[in-house]
Protein backbone atom coordinates (compact mmCIF):
# COMPACT_ATOMS: atom_id res chain seq x y z
CA UNK A 1 0.00 0.00 0.00
CA UNK A 2 1.61 3.28 -1.08
CA UNK A 3 1.36 6.53 0.80
CA UNK A 4 -1.41 8.66 -0.72
CA UNK A 5 -1.49 12.47 -0.61
CA UNK A 6 -4.86 14.14 -1.11
CA UNK A 7 -4.81 17.95 -1.24
CA UNK A 8 -7.71 20.00 0.07
CA UNK A 9 -8.09 23.76 0.54
CA UNK A 10 -9.13 24.94 3.99
CA UNK A 11 -10.41 28.51 4.06
CA UNK A 12 -10.88 30.58 7.22
CA UNK A 13 -13.36 33.23 6.05
CA UNK A 14 -10.59 34.86 4.04
CA UNK A 15 -9.09 36.40 7.18
CA UNK A 16 -6.09 34.18 7.70
CA UNK A 17 -3.62 32.34 5.52
CA UNK A 18 -4.56 28.77 4.71
CA UNK A 19 -2.22 25.81 4.24
CA UNK A 20 -2.70 22.92 1.85
CA UNK A 21 -3.20 19.75 3.88
CA UNK A 22 -2.04 16.22 3.14
CA UNK A 23 -4.03 13.10 3.96
CA UNK A 24 -1.65 10.60 5.53
CA UNK A 25 -2.15 6.95 4.62
CA UNK A 26 0.41 4.78 6.40
CA UNK A 27 2.36 1.95 4.82
CA UNK A 28 2.18 -1.40 6.64
CA UNK A 29 5.85 -1.07 7.60
CA UNK A 30 5.14 2.29 9.28
CA UNK A 31 2.59 1.07 11.82
CA UNK A 32 2.71 -1.11 14.92
CA UNK A 33 -0.36 -2.64 16.55
CA UNK A 34 -0.52 -3.58 20.24
CA UNK A 35 -3.34 -5.84 21.42
CA UNK A 36 -4.12 -5.42 25.10
CA UNK A 37 -5.53 -8.76 26.24
CA UNK A 38 -5.39 -11.43 28.94
CA UNK A 39 -6.16 -14.19 26.43
CA UNK A 40 -3.46 -16.77 25.78
CA UNK A 41 -2.28 -17.69 22.28
CA UNK A 42 -5.14 -19.23 20.34
CA UNK A 43 -7.80 -18.52 22.97
CA UNK A 44 -9.59 -15.58 21.38
CA UNK A 45 -10.71 -15.94 17.73
CA UNK A 46 -10.76 -12.20 17.06
CA UNK A 47 -7.11 -11.79 18.10
CA UNK A 48 -6.15 -14.85 16.06
CA UNK A 49 -7.77 -13.29 13.00
CA UNK A 50 -6.07 -9.98 13.71
CA UNK A 51 -2.68 -11.67 13.85
CA UNK A 52 -3.40 -13.48 10.58
CA UNK A 53 -4.42 -10.27 8.78
CA UNK A 54 -1.42 -8.29 10.10
CA UNK A 55 1.02 -11.04 9.15
CA UNK A 56 -0.38 -11.11 5.61
CA UNK A 57 -0.04 -7.32 5.30
CA UNK A 58 3.41 -7.14 6.89
CA UNK A 59 2.21 -5.16 9.93
CA UNK A 60 4.08 -5.59 13.21
CA UNK A 61 1.73 -6.81 15.95
CA UNK A 62 2.37 -7.61 19.61
CA UNK A 63 0.11 -9.05 22.30
CA UNK A 64 0.41 -7.14 25.58
CA UNK A 65 -0.28 -9.47 28.50
CA UNK A 66 -2.67 -7.18 30.36
CA UNK A 67 -2.61 -9.15 33.63
CA UNK A 68 1.18 -9.48 33.79
CA UNK A 69 2.70 -6.43 32.07
CA UNK A 70 3.42 -3.07 33.70
CA UNK A 71 4.68 0.23 32.33
CA UNK A 72 6.96 3.11 33.30
CA UNK A 73 8.30 6.20 31.55
CA UNK A 74 12.02 6.61 31.00
CA UNK A 75 13.12 9.38 33.35
CA UNK A 76 15.53 10.79 30.76
CA UNK A 77 13.04 10.66 27.87
CA UNK A 78 9.43 11.75 28.17
CA UNK A 79 8.84 10.38 24.66
CA UNK A 80 9.52 6.76 25.69
CA UNK A 81 7.25 4.44 27.66
CA UNK A 82 8.63 1.04 28.64
CA UNK A 83 6.25 -1.91 28.94
CA UNK A 84 7.91 -4.48 31.15
CA UNK A 85 7.06 -8.18 30.88
CA UNK A 86 4.79 -7.32 27.96
CA UNK A 87 4.62 -10.95 26.81
CA UNK A 88 4.40 -12.54 30.27
CA UNK A 89 7.86 -14.04 29.71
CA UNK A 90 10.02 -11.22 31.09
CA UNK A 91 10.65 -9.30 27.87
CA UNK A 92 10.32 -5.49 27.64
CA UNK A 93 9.17 -3.16 24.88
CA UNK A 94 9.74 0.55 24.27
CA UNK A 95 6.84 2.65 23.02
CA UNK A 96 7.85 5.97 21.49
CA UNK A 97 5.19 8.68 21.45
CA UNK A 98 6.37 9.81 18.01
CA UNK A 99 5.83 6.39 16.40
CA UNK A 100 2.67 5.25 14.60
CA UNK A 101 1.27 2.91 17.23
CA UNK A 102 -2.29 1.65 17.63
CA UNK A 103 -3.55 -0.14 20.73
CA UNK A 104 -6.57 -2.41 20.26
CA UNK A 105 -8.10 -2.81 23.72
CA UNK A 106 -10.01 -6.02 24.29
CA UNK A 107 -12.57 -6.64 27.04
CA UNK A 108 -9.81 -7.17 29.61
CA UNK A 109 -9.38 -3.40 30.08
CA UNK A 110 -12.78 -3.35 31.80
CA UNK A 111 -12.52 -6.53 33.84
CA UNK A 112 -8.87 -6.25 34.92
CA UNK A 113 -7.62 -3.24 36.90
CA UNK A 114 -4.02 -3.68 35.73
CA UNK A 115 -5.20 -3.73 32.11
CA UNK A 116 -7.15 -0.52 32.69
CA UNK A 117 -4.03 1.20 34.03
CA UNK A 118 -1.96 0.08 31.03
CA UNK A 119 -4.71 1.25 28.69
CA UNK A 120 -4.77 4.71 30.29
CA UNK A 121 -0.95 5.01 30.27
CA UNK A 122 -0.77 4.14 26.58
CA UNK A 123 -3.52 6.63 25.75
CA UNK A 124 -1.87 9.39 27.80
CA UNK A 125 1.41 8.63 26.05
CA UNK A 126 -0.14 9.47 22.68
CA UNK A 127 -0.94 5.96 21.44
CA UNK A 128 -4.11 5.79 19.34
CA UNK A 129 -6.42 3.47 21.27
CA UNK A 130 -9.39 1.55 19.87
CA UNK A 131 -11.27 2.54 21.87
CA UNK A 132 -10.12 5.33 24.19
CA UNK A 133 -10.23 4.66 27.96
CA UNK A 134 -13.05 7.17 28.39
CA UNK A 135 -15.23 5.70 25.63
CA UNK A 136 -14.64 2.14 26.86
CA UNK A 137 -15.68 3.12 30.39
CA UNK A 138 -18.81 4.84 29.08
CA UNK A 139 -19.92 2.12 26.68
CA UNK A 140 -19.11 -0.79 29.00
CA UNK A 141 -21.20 0.54 31.87
CA UNK A 142 -24.78 -0.01 30.77
CA UNK A 143 -26.21 2.77 32.94
CA UNK A 144 -23.60 5.31 31.83
CA UNK A 145 -24.36 4.37 28.23
CA UNK A 146 -28.10 4.69 28.90
CA UNK A 147 -27.63 8.26 30.18
CA UNK A 148 -25.71 9.12 27.02
CA UNK A 149 -28.45 7.58 24.86
CA UNK A 150 -31.13 9.65 26.61
CA UNK A 151 -29.07 12.84 26.36
CA UNK A 152 -28.72 12.28 22.61
CA UNK A 153 -32.41 11.44 21.97
CA UNK A 154 -31.64 7.79 21.18
CA UNK A 155 -34.56 5.44 21.80
CA UNK A 156 -33.68 2.76 24.33
CA UNK A 157 -35.67 0.64 26.82
CA UNK A 158 -36.55 2.50 30.03
CA UNK A 159 -33.82 1.89 32.59
CA UNK A 160 -33.32 2.63 36.27
CA UNK A 161 -30.34 2.15 38.60
CA UNK A 162 -31.19 -0.20 41.49
CA UNK A 163 -29.56 1.22 44.61
CA UNK A 164 -31.61 -0.37 47.40
CA UNK A 165 -34.36 -2.99 47.44
CA UNK A 166 -36.35 -0.70 49.78
CA UNK A 167 -37.06 1.56 46.79
CA UNK A 168 -37.81 -1.20 44.31
CA UNK A 169 -41.40 -0.06 43.72
CA UNK A 170 -40.15 3.32 42.52
CA UNK A 171 -37.74 1.54 40.19
CA UNK A 172 -40.49 -0.71 38.81
CA UNK A 173 -42.65 2.33 38.14
CA UNK A 174 -39.72 4.08 36.45
CA UNK A 175 -39.38 1.28 33.87
CA UNK A 176 -43.09 1.09 33.06
CA UNK A 177 -44.65 -0.72 36.02
CA UNK A 178 -45.16 -4.03 34.19
CA UNK A 179 -43.70 -7.52 34.48
CA UNK A 180 -41.66 -9.24 33.27
CA UNK A 181 -38.67 -6.94 33.77
CA UNK A 182 -34.97 -7.32 33.02
CA UNK A 183 -32.36 -7.10 35.79
CA UNK A 184 -28.75 -6.61 34.67
CA UNK A 185 -25.31 -6.00 36.06
CA UNK A 186 -24.15 -2.59 34.86
CA UNK A 187 -21.00 -4.26 33.54
CA UNK A 188 -21.11 -7.63 31.83
CA UNK A 189 -20.95 -9.14 28.37
CA UNK A 190 -22.08 -12.16 26.42
CA UNK A 191 -25.46 -12.21 28.14
CA UNK A 192 -24.02 -13.04 31.56
CA UNK A 193 -25.63 -11.19 34.44
CA UNK A 194 -28.88 -10.60 32.50
CA UNK A 195 -32.04 -11.91 34.20
CA UNK A 196 -35.68 -11.92 33.18
CA UNK A 197 -37.99 -11.79 36.22
CA UNK A 198 -41.73 -12.41 36.13
CA UNK A 199 -42.89 -10.96 39.46
CA UNK A 200 -42.08 -8.48 42.20
CA UNK A 201 -41.35 -11.29 44.66
CA UNK A 202 -38.80 -12.94 42.37
CA UNK A 203 -37.21 -9.55 41.62
CA UNK A 204 -36.80 -8.72 45.32
CA UNK A 205 -35.40 -12.18 46.07
CA UNK A 206 -32.79 -11.98 43.33
CA UNK A 207 -31.72 -8.45 44.33
CA UNK A 208 -31.38 -9.53 47.97
CA UNK A 209 -29.26 -12.51 46.94
CA UNK A 210 -27.02 -10.34 44.76
CA UNK A 211 -26.73 -7.76 47.55
CA UNK A 212 -25.99 -10.32 50.27
CA UNK A 213 -23.40 -9.35 52.86
CA UNK A 214 -21.80 -12.75 52.26
CA UNK A 215 -20.66 -11.65 48.80
CA UNK A 216 -17.16 -10.16 48.61
CA UNK A 217 -18.17 -7.77 45.84
CA UNK A 218 -21.59 -6.29 45.20
CA UNK A 219 -22.01 -5.35 41.55
CA UNK A 220 -24.17 -2.44 40.48
CA UNK A 221 -27.58 -3.41 39.11
CA UNK A 222 -30.00 -1.81 36.68
CA UNK A 223 -33.66 -2.54 36.06
CA UNK A 224 -34.92 -2.37 32.50
CA UNK A 225 -38.29 -2.69 30.80
CA UNK A 226 -38.75 -5.94 28.89
CA UNK A 227 -39.48 -5.79 25.17
CA UNK A 228 -40.39 -9.09 23.53
CA UNK A 229 -38.33 -9.62 20.38
CA UNK A 230 -37.39 -12.41 18.00
CA UNK A 231 -33.93 -11.08 17.15
CA UNK A 232 -31.53 -8.18 17.44
CA UNK A 233 -29.08 -6.65 14.98
CA UNK A 234 -25.38 -6.20 15.68
CA UNK A 235 -24.36 -3.20 13.58
CA UNK A 236 -20.63 -2.48 13.40
CA UNK A 237 -19.49 1.14 13.21
CA UNK A 238 -15.93 2.14 12.28
CA UNK A 239 -14.94 5.81 12.42
CA UNK A 240 -18.50 7.09 12.03
CA UNK A 241 -19.47 4.68 9.25
CA UNK A 242 -21.41 1.40 9.34
CA UNK A 243 -19.20 -1.26 7.75
CA UNK A 244 -21.05 -4.53 8.45
CA UNK A 245 -24.04 -6.04 10.22
CA UNK A 246 -25.46 -9.36 11.40
CA UNK A 247 -28.83 -10.55 12.69
CA UNK A 248 -28.85 -12.62 15.90
CA UNK A 249 -31.89 -14.84 16.33
CA UNK A 250 -33.29 -15.44 19.82
CA UNK A 251 -32.79 -18.97 21.12
CA UNK A 252 -35.85 -21.20 21.43
CA UNK A 253 -35.78 -21.51 25.24
CA UNK A 254 -34.06 -18.24 26.11
CA UNK A 255 -34.93 -14.55 25.82
CA UNK A 256 -31.33 -13.58 24.96
CA UNK A 257 -29.67 -13.32 21.55
CA UNK A 258 -25.99 -13.61 22.46
CA UNK A 259 -23.76 -15.58 20.09
CA UNK A 260 -21.70 -16.83 23.05
CA UNK A 261 -24.84 -18.52 24.42
CA UNK A 262 -25.62 -20.31 21.18
CA UNK A 263 -27.87 -17.89 19.26
CA UNK A 264 -28.03 -18.36 15.49
CA UNK A 265 -26.49 -15.58 13.42
CA UNK A 266 -26.87 -14.58 9.80
CA UNK A 267 -25.64 -11.67 7.65
CA UNK A 268 -28.03 -8.74 7.74
CA UNK A 269 -28.50 -5.71 5.50
CA UNK A 270 -29.50 -2.82 7.80
CA UNK A 271 -32.08 -0.23 6.82
CA UNK A 272 -31.13 3.41 6.36
CA UNK A 273 -32.83 4.19 9.68
CA UNK A 274 -30.78 1.52 11.44
CA UNK A 275 -27.58 2.82 9.87
CA UNK A 276 -28.33 6.36 11.00
CA UNK A 277 -29.23 5.16 14.51
CA UNK A 278 -26.05 3.06 14.83
CA UNK A 279 -23.79 5.93 13.76
CA UNK A 280 -25.53 8.32 16.15
CA UNK A 281 -25.22 5.81 18.98
CA UNK A 282 -21.51 5.17 18.42
CA UNK A 283 -20.95 8.92 18.43
CA UNK A 284 -22.91 9.32 21.68
CA UNK A 285 -20.35 7.17 23.54
CA UNK A 286 -17.43 8.41 21.41
CA UNK A 287 -16.43 4.96 20.11
CA UNK A 288 -14.17 4.69 17.08
CA UNK A 289 -15.03 1.02 16.53
CA UNK A 290 -17.96 -0.74 18.20
CA UNK A 291 -20.95 -2.99 17.83
CA UNK A 292 -24.33 -1.32 18.31
CA UNK A 293 -27.16 -3.69 19.27
CA UNK A 294 -30.51 -2.62 17.81
CA UNK A 295 -33.97 -4.19 18.25
CA UNK A 296 -37.34 -3.60 16.63
CA UNK A 297 -40.37 -3.41 18.91
CA UNK A 298 -43.81 -2.45 17.59
CA UNK A 299 -42.24 -1.09 14.39
CA UNK A 300 -39.83 1.19 16.24
CA UNK A 301 -36.05 0.87 16.58
CA UNK A 302 -34.41 0.80 20.00
CA UNK A 303 -30.75 0.59 21.03
CA UNK A 304 -30.00 -2.01 23.69
CA UNK A 305 -26.31 -1.35 24.27
CA UNK A 306 -22.91 -0.73 22.71
CA UNK A 307 -20.05 -3.23 22.72
CA UNK A 308 -16.70 -1.34 22.56
CA UNK A 309 -14.80 -4.58 21.89
CA UNK A 310 -16.93 -6.57 19.42
CA UNK A 311 -15.98 -10.07 18.38
CA UNK A 312 -15.82 -11.58 14.90
CA UNK A 313 -17.33 -15.05 15.18
CA UNK A 314 -20.22 -14.40 12.80
CA UNK A 315 -20.83 -13.90 9.13
CA UNK A 316 -21.75 -10.32 8.20
CA UNK A 317 -23.20 -8.25 5.43
CA UNK A 318 -20.47 -5.94 4.10
CA UNK A 319 -22.03 -2.56 3.26
CA UNK A 320 -19.15 -1.56 0.98
CA UNK A 321 -18.79 -4.76 -1.01
CA UNK A 322 -22.51 -5.57 -0.77
CA UNK A 323 -21.90 -9.22 -0.04
CA UNK A 324 -21.51 -11.63 2.87
CA UNK A 325 -18.12 -11.72 4.60
CA UNK A 326 -16.58 -13.85 7.34
CA UNK A 327 -14.85 -12.78 10.55
CA UNK A 328 -11.38 -12.61 9.01
CA UNK A 329 -12.63 -10.32 6.24
CA UNK A 330 -14.28 -8.14 8.87
CA UNK A 331 -11.00 -7.78 10.78
CA UNK A 332 -9.26 -6.93 7.50
CA UNK A 333 -11.69 -4.01 7.09
CA UNK A 334 -10.78 -2.81 10.59
CA UNK A 335 -7.05 -2.99 9.86
CA UNK A 336 -7.43 -1.24 6.50
CA UNK A 337 -9.51 1.47 8.19
CA UNK A 338 -6.87 2.35 10.76
CA UNK A 339 -4.17 2.88 8.12
CA UNK A 340 -5.53 6.41 7.56
CA UNK A 341 -3.76 8.29 10.34
CA UNK A 342 -5.83 11.42 9.78
CA UNK A 343 -8.81 9.56 11.25
CA UNK A 344 -7.05 8.67 14.50
CA UNK A 345 -8.71 10.13 17.59
CA UNK A 346 -7.15 10.71 20.97
CA UNK A 347 -8.37 11.87 24.33
CA UNK A 348 -7.54 15.56 24.27
CA UNK A 349 -6.60 18.41 26.54
CA UNK A 350 -8.85 21.47 26.32
CA UNK A 351 -7.23 24.75 25.27
CA UNK A 352 -8.61 28.20 24.61
CA UNK A 353 -8.86 29.91 21.23
CA UNK A 354 -6.03 32.21 22.38
CA UNK A 355 -3.07 30.79 24.31
CA UNK A 356 0.47 31.82 25.25
CA UNK A 357 3.35 30.35 23.24
CA UNK A 358 6.97 30.70 24.28
CA UNK A 359 9.41 30.49 21.36
CA UNK A 360 12.54 29.17 23.03
CA UNK A 361 15.05 31.61 21.56
CA UNK A 362 17.28 34.03 23.50
CA UNK A 363 15.77 37.50 23.58
CA UNK A 364 12.26 36.36 22.67
CA UNK A 365 9.53 36.67 25.29
CA UNK A 366 6.30 34.60 25.41
CA UNK A 367 3.56 35.92 23.14
CA UNK A 368 -0.08 35.27 22.39
CA UNK A 369 -1.07 32.82 19.67
CA UNK A 370 -4.34 31.99 17.96
CA UNK A 371 -5.32 28.31 17.87
CA UNK A 372 -6.34 28.23 14.20
CA UNK A 373 -8.56 25.21 13.53
CA UNK A 374 -8.96 26.30 9.90
CA UNK A 375 -5.25 25.80 9.20
CA UNK A 376 -4.50 22.18 8.34
CA UNK A 377 -0.75 22.42 7.74
CA UNK A 378 2.19 24.38 9.19
CA UNK A 379 2.02 26.83 12.05
CA UNK A 380 2.63 30.47 11.08
CA UNK A 381 4.86 33.10 12.71
CA UNK A 382 5.04 36.79 11.79
CA UNK A 383 8.49 38.12 10.88
CA UNK A 384 10.18 41.31 9.61
CA UNK A 385 13.27 41.93 7.45
CA UNK A 386 13.43 38.40 6.07
CA UNK A 387 16.62 37.67 4.11
CA UNK A 388 17.51 34.31 2.60
CA UNK A 389 21.13 33.36 2.03
CA UNK A 390 21.53 29.92 0.51
CA UNK A 391 19.99 27.47 2.98
CA UNK A 392 19.76 30.02 5.80
CA UNK A 393 17.08 32.56 6.69
CA UNK A 394 17.67 35.69 8.77
CA UNK A 395 14.69 37.57 10.23
CA UNK A 396 13.19 39.35 13.22
CA UNK A 397 10.12 38.01 14.98
CA UNK A 398 7.43 40.72 15.05
CA UNK A 399 7.76 42.90 18.14
CA UNK A 400 11.32 41.86 19.04
CA UNK A 401 14.65 43.49 18.19
CA UNK A 402 16.56 40.23 18.03
CA UNK A 403 17.91 38.76 14.77
CA UNK A 404 17.12 35.05 14.35
CA UNK A 405 19.11 32.77 12.04
CA UNK A 406 17.59 29.45 11.01
CA UNK A 407 18.14 26.67 8.47
CA UNK A 408 15.43 26.71 5.81
CA UNK A 409 13.04 23.78 5.49
CA UNK A 410 11.23 22.91 2.21
CA UNK A 411 8.80 25.63 1.13
CA UNK A 412 5.08 25.30 1.79
CA UNK A 413 2.18 26.30 -0.50
CA UNK A 414 -0.32 28.70 1.08
CA UNK A 415 -3.81 29.50 -0.21
CA UNK A 416 -4.90 33.14 0.30
CA UNK A 417 -7.83 35.45 -0.38
CA UNK A 418 -10.57 32.82 -0.51
CA UNK A 419 -8.52 30.62 -2.82
CA UNK A 420 -7.82 33.23 -5.49
CA UNK A 421 -4.07 33.37 -4.73
CA UNK A 422 -1.33 30.96 -3.70
CA UNK A 423 2.04 31.72 -2.18
CA UNK A 424 5.23 29.74 -1.62
CA UNK A 425 6.58 30.39 1.88
CA UNK A 426 9.88 29.75 3.58
CA UNK A 427 9.65 27.50 6.61
CA UNK A 428 11.87 26.98 9.67
CA UNK A 429 11.61 25.07 12.94
CA UNK A 430 11.56 26.26 16.56
CA UNK A 431 11.42 24.62 19.94
CA UNK A 432 8.36 26.05 21.69
CA UNK A 433 6.63 25.80 25.04
CA UNK A 434 2.83 25.70 25.30
CA UNK A 435 1.52 25.54 28.85
CA UNK A 436 3.97 23.38 30.77
CA UNK A 437 5.06 21.22 27.83
CA UNK A 438 8.03 21.75 25.51
CA UNK A 439 7.66 20.71 21.85
CA UNK A 440 10.84 20.15 19.86
CA UNK A 441 11.47 20.98 16.20
CA UNK A 442 8.05 22.50 15.47
CA UNK A 443 7.68 23.74 11.88
CA UNK A 444 6.51 27.30 11.11
CA UNK A 445 5.98 29.13 7.85
CA UNK A 446 7.30 32.72 7.83
CA UNK A 447 4.77 35.49 7.12
CA UNK A 448 4.67 39.27 7.52
CA UNK A 449 1.29 39.01 9.36
CA UNK A 450 0.77 42.78 9.14
CA UNK A 451 -2.41 44.07 10.84
CA UNK A 452 -2.96 40.76 12.66
CA UNK A 453 -3.69 40.64 16.39
CA UNK A 454 -1.43 37.66 17.10
CA UNK A 455 2.09 36.99 15.88
CA UNK A 456 1.60 33.21 15.89
CA UNK A 457 -1.01 30.88 14.41
CA UNK A 458 -1.05 27.32 15.75
CA UNK A 459 -2.32 24.86 13.13
CA UNK A 460 -4.96 22.17 13.46
CA UNK A 461 -2.34 19.53 12.61
CA UNK A 462 -0.17 20.60 15.56
CA UNK A 463 -3.20 20.54 17.85
CA UNK A 464 -4.16 17.05 16.68
CA UNK A 465 -0.61 15.76 17.09
CA UNK A 466 -0.41 17.39 20.54
CA UNK A 467 -3.84 16.02 21.61
CA UNK A 468 -5.43 19.46 22.04
CA UNK A 469 -9.06 20.47 21.49
CA UNK A 470 -10.14 24.10 21.25
CA UNK A 471 -12.96 25.58 23.31
CA UNK A 472 -13.91 28.71 21.30
CA UNK A 473 -15.51 30.25 24.39
CA UNK A 474 -12.28 30.28 26.40
CA UNK A 475 -8.88 32.00 26.34
CA UNK A 476 -5.65 31.31 28.21
CA UNK A 477 -6.68 27.93 29.60
CA UNK A 478 -3.00 26.96 29.86
CA UNK A 479 -1.90 30.20 31.52
CA UNK A 480 -1.61 33.95 30.85
CA UNK A 481 1.28 36.23 29.96
Lowest-pLDDT choice from 16-30, 64-78, 311-325, 417-431? 16-30
The domain 26-130 having CATH identifier 3.40.50.20: the answer here is yes
Q: Which residue has the higher pLDDT, 63 or 39?
A: 63
What is the b/e burial string over 242-264, where b = at least 16 CB atoms within 10 angstroms of the residue's CB? Answer: bbbbbbbebeeeeebbbbeeebe
Taking Cα atoms as reference points, which of 44, 45, 24, 50 lies closest to residue 103? 50
Q: Would you identify the CATH topology of the domain 349-475?
A: Cathepsin D, subunit A; domain 1 (2.40.70)
Give the mean pLDDT of 475-481.
Answer: 91
Q: What angle do CA 457, 461, 467 make, to 5 degrees?
A: 105
Residue 209 has pLDDT above 50, yes or no: yes
Q: Is 182 strand, coil or helix?
A: strand
d(CA 183, CA 100): 43
Residue 381 has pLDDT above 50, yes or no: yes
pLDDT confidence of residue 214: 60
Residue 404 has pLDDT above 70, yes or no: yes
pLDDT confidence of residue 358: 96
Give the mean pLDDT of 371-387.
Answer: 89
What is the chain's mean pLDDT, rounded? 88
The domain 232-335 having CATH identifier 3.40.50.720: the answer here is no
Residue 1 has pLDDT above 60, yes or no: no
Residue 445 has pLDDT above 80, yes or no: yes
Residue 7 has pLDDT above 60, yes or no: no
Residue 151 has pLDDT above 60, yes or no: yes
Q: What is the CATH number of domain 158-225?
A: 3.30.1490.20
Q: Residue 58, by phi and psi: left (phi above 0), alpha (psi -120 to 50) or beta?
A: left
pTM, 2 dp: 0.78
Q: Which residue has the higher pLDDT, 41 or 364?
A: 364
pLDDT confidence of residue 284: 97
The 10s digit of each residue's pLDDT in 114-124 is 999 999 999 98
Q: Where are the domains of the chain?
A: 26-130, 158-225, 232-335, 349-475
pLDDT confidence of residue 423: 78
Residue 100 has pLDDT above 60, yes or no: yes
**Cβ atoms of residues 254 and 289 within 8 Å:** no
Residue 321 main-chain phi, psi, to 5 deg: -85, -15
Lowest-pLDDT choice from 122-126, 130-134, 257-261? 257-261
pLDDT confidence of residue 17: 45
d(CA 23, CA 21): 7
Give the mean pLDDT of 265-276.
Answer: 96
Residue 215 has pLDDT above 70, yes or no: no
**Cβ atoms of residues 357 and 434 within 8 Å:** yes
Amino acid sequence: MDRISQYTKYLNNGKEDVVIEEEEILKPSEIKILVLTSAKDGEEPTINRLEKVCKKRGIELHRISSDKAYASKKSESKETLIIYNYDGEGNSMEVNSNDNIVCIARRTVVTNRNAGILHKMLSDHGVFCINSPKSVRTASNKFNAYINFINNDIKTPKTCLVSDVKYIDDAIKEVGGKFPVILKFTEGHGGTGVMKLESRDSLVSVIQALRSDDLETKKELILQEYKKIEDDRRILVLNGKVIAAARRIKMKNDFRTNVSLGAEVEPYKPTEEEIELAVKTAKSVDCYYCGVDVIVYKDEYYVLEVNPSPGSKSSYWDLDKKKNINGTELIAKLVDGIMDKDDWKHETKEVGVIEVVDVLENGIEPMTAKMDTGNGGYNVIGVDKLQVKGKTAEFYIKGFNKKITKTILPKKSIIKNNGSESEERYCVSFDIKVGEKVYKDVHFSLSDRDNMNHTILISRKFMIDSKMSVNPKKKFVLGEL
